[in-house]
Copies of this chain bind each other. A is one copy, B any other.
Amino acid sequence: MTLEQELAEFPLTGRFLYGRLRDSLSHEDRRLLENLPEEIANYQKDTRVVQAGSACSRSTLLVEGFIIRGLDGTGNRSALSVHVPGDFVDLHCFALKRLDHNVDTIGPVKLAYVPHEKLREVLRDRPHLGRLLWSSTLLDAAMHRQWIMKLEQLTTPRRIAHIFAELWRRLEMVGLADEDGFQTPLTQVDLAEMCGATPVHANRALRELRERELATFRKGRVSSPDRAGLEQYADFAPDYLYGEGELAVKSELFAL
């Protein structure tokens, strides 16, 4: 099914793993998934949706907008991951009593809350769908690992290039990118928090990308005249997103 068809029938969950493992879901499972949310919520930008350490009895599916998972330090926030529509933001808190980080919006956001009670039913009655949920948390961990590598090996301009390259690909998979870039409510401060850098330095890094003609960042939009160059500069290899390359996701797990 095309993304348009998918979203027409499953407006809340149509982007979940679209372009990846979603293909393995039966129509019945997709229907079931779409009916999991108990509540829809809209938030403005810079709102804390979940507080670190708070107990949680439901998980958050991101329907529209962008979200950052982060931790408050002394003065500055540190960003752990960024999420795009279709991501199951805090699915792991289903298994872990409390969340070890905050969930903050960056821009207007539409969320769907899935009660853990219903997830338990899914695990019990729909093993295939349950395994898909597990896989999505593993994809999250794979992105964490890439982020670690990025922080260990790259300078700030390259880190930002990597963030742009990754977001571009991820948004593309859920139909939210276009030919020469993508829209995002990220600010330079957010980028700095993701890089472990100061806003001042993030700004200079962006200038570097601009001068190299690899990417521009203006008015909530990332544009690049040279996507291949951007990805090469960032040492970006999209395998870890498990899209449809060499590292495609194993069908074995779902062959039960």
Contact = CB atoms under 8 A, between A and B. Distances in A.
A129 B148 CA distance: 30
B144 A78 contact: no
Interface stretch (A37-45, A162-170, A222-230, A241-249): A241-249
A141 interface: yes
A96 B250 contact: yes
A116 B252 contact: yes
A137 interface: yes
Interface in A106-133: 116, 120, 123-124, 127, 131
A212 to B, nearest CB: 19
Given A131-B123, A195-B152, A95 B250 contact: yes
Nearest to A93: B250
Interface residues on A, range: 35 or more
Copies in the complex: 2
Contact of A78 (B135, B142, B152, B252): B152
A15 interface: no
B153 A196 contact: yes
Contact of A120 (B141, B146, B256): B256
A80 interface: yes
Interface in A54-102: 69, 71, 73, 76, 78-81, 92, 94-98, 100-101
A95 B127 contact: no
A147 interface: yes
A120 B252 CA distance: 9
Nearest to A71: B149
A240 interface: yes
A22 B94 CA distance: 18
A138 interface: yes
Contacts of A116: 252
A246 B131 contact: no
Interface of A: 53, 69, 71, 73, 76, 78-81, 92, 94-98, 100-101, 116, 120, 123-124, 127, 131, 134-135, 137-142, 144-149, 151-153, 193, 195-196, 239-240, 242, 246-250, 252-253, 256
Given A95-B135, A152-B196, 19 more contacts: A53-B247, A71-B149, A73-B149, A95-B134, A95-B138, A96-B135, A96-B142, A100-B142, A100-B146, A100-B239, A101-B145, A116-B252, A123-B127, A137-B137, A137-B141, A140-B141, A144-B144, A152-B193, A153-B196
